[in-house]
Structure 1
Amino acid sequence: MGLGILCSGQGGQHAGMLDVLAGEPATQRIFDRAAAAGWDDPRRLVAGDPARLTRNRVAQPLLCLVQAAAWAALAPLLPPPLAVAGYSIGELTAYHVAGALALDPLLALASARAGAMDAAMARTGEAGAMLAVRGLDRPTLLSFGGEIAIANGPDRYVIGGTAGHVALLRDRLEAAGAAVTAIAVDIASHTSMMAPAVAPFHAALAAAPFTAPLCPVLAGIDGAPVFHPDRARASLASQLVRTVEWAACLDGLRERGCTLLLELGPGDALSRMAQSHLPGMPVRALADFRSLRGAAAWVERQST
C-alpha cells in the first residue's frame, strides 16, 4: 500500500466543514493555538457569515489551518505518505503535511500569499473571476482568448481573468457546447494578472523556515517531485502566474508508487477528479466519513 495525500484548494468551504473534526483533541489544540496567536478561529468563522468563507484573505489561511488540524489528528493513525500534492493554495499545505513547514510559518505564508494576490488584482481596477470549463480540449479553449489557470484533464480546465472578460467568455464557451461552472473566488489565480504578487510572495517564502520534506511534494506547475526547500520556494512563487498542471500531479502520484489517495478537504473535488483520472485506484475524501478514525480505518482496509 502506498498512500498519497491530496490537499484541497479554495471552493469547498461551507458551514459544516469542521464536522468531521469534531471531538478530536489534536485538531482543537491546533485551533486554540492559532486563535491565541491572532488568527481567525475556524470554529467561529463557520458559524458566522458564509460570505466571509469565500474572501481570499480569509479563505487561504483558513484552508491551511483546517487541513493542518486534520493532519495533526490523522498522521498518527496513518502510514507515512509516499507523496503529497496540493491544489493551488493546497500546495502550501502540502509542505506542512510533508514535514517541511511548521504551522506558524504555514499560516503566515498563506496570509502573505492572499494579501499579495489581492493587491495584484486591485491593480487591475476590476474584480477577478474563475470558471471551470468541461468539454473542450486545450487548443480549442485557448482559441477563445482566455488564460488557463488550472489543467485538470484533457477536457477539464479552469480559466481566469477579470469578471467582465470571464462573463463574455462564458457565453461564448456555452455556445460552443462546453459545460461551465463559476468558482467562488474573486481573483484570477494562476494567470498573468498575478504577476505583481510574485516578488512579494517570493520574499516571504525566502524568509520562511523551510526544511527538506520527509516525502516528495509534487510541484503544481509541472507535477515533478520536490525534495529541496529552494525548489519549493521557486515552485510556490511561480505557481501564482503559471498554469497548475493538476492532471500531471495526479500522474506523478501514481508514478511515485501511490496506490490509494486521501483528500484532506474541505469538500471532495480533488477525490472526484482523481477517481476519473486514475480509474481503479481507491480514492476518498475526509468529507466522505463521519470521523477521522473512519477515514483511517478505510486506509487500513486497503492494505488487507
Structure 2
Amino acid sequence: MSEAPTLAAKLLLLEHDPRHYQTLWDLAQSLGLVALPRSATDALPTLAQHKDLGGVMLAEDLPCESGDALSLARAIHRQRPELPIFLRRTGDAPLADDLKLSLAHAWTGLDTLREALNKSLFSLRYPPELVNGVVELTSGAIRSMFPNAQVDNEPPYVVHDRIIFGQVSTLIALESTWCRGYMMLQTEESALRQGMLQGFGYEGVGGDLNFRELNNLLGETTNLIWGAFKNRYIPPQAFATQQTQVPIVINHEQKYISFGSQDPQLCIRYQLSDPRRPGLPPLVIVQRLIFNLLWSPEKFTEFSAAPPEAGGTGELELF
C-alpha cells in the first residue's frame, strides 16, 4: 500500500509460535500495522481496553486455558463482530459454518494474508495530502480553542471498531463533490474538565463548567474544524448529487455507534498537555472521519490539484 507509511492500523496479535510470531511481526511492520501481542488469557480483556482496533490475527493452535483457539475466535466475534479475524490454519479439518462467517480470512501462506490484510484494513484509500491536511487544520482549530495547551497528535490510523471513546461526542456532516459522510470528536468529560482546570482554555474559563458548557466547548471545536475543512476542501459551487442516506445506530449502553458501513474509518488521536506540568495525564481528543455515503479519492486528487479559487469569507456555520 502506498499509504502504509502514512496510515496505520492496530492489530491484536495472538500467536505463540516463535517463528510465525517473528514473521507476522515483520509483516505488520512492512504494512504499517501496530501489532499488540497478547496471550489467549489476555485477548478478551485487551478488547475491552482498546476501542480502536483494526483486526485480530489468531493462530488455530494457540494454547488456551479453557476451550481452544476456535472457541476464542467465536468469543472475539461475539464481543466485536466488526473486527476482521485472520486465522492461521494449522489443521486441515473443515471449519464449521458459523466459524467461517466469523472469519475474514483463514490462511496458511503469507501472500494470501498480505492481500487479505490490505483488502480488509485499507479498503478505502486515503490520499496522504488529505490525511496531512486534516491533521493540520484540526490541530490549528484545537489550538484556537485551547490556546494554553500543547497539542500533539499520534500517527493517523484506520479502525474497524465502532466503540465510542469517552462520554462526550460531537457529530457533523461532511459533504462535497468527492465525499459524503461525517466527522466525530470524542473525549472523556472528566479529562476535559480537568484540562480546563489546568488552564488549557482562555483566561477566566476554568474547570467549573457544567456538562452543557463542556458539550458546547467540544461543539465549537468541531465547528472550527468543519469551517476550515469546508474552506479548504469543499468547492463552493458544487455538492454531491447522490443523496443516499443510511440510518445511524447508537447504543449508549454499549458505547457503540454504527454508520451502516463496514469500511475502515480514518482515526486521529490528539493529546493536549500542559508544558508547565509535564507529569499530568494529557487530555485526549479522538477524531474520526467516516465517509459512509460517498468516497471518491480520485476526485479529491483532481480537486486538490486544480488551481485555487477565491476563498470564502472564513465565516463559520453555527449549530
- TM-score normalised to structure 1 length: 0.29
Instruction: State which structure, 1 or 2, has the greater radius of gyration over its C-alpha atoms.
Output: 2
- Higher RCO, Cα 8 Å, sep 6+: 1
Which protein is richer in helix relative to its size?
1
Structure ranking higher in strand proportion: 2
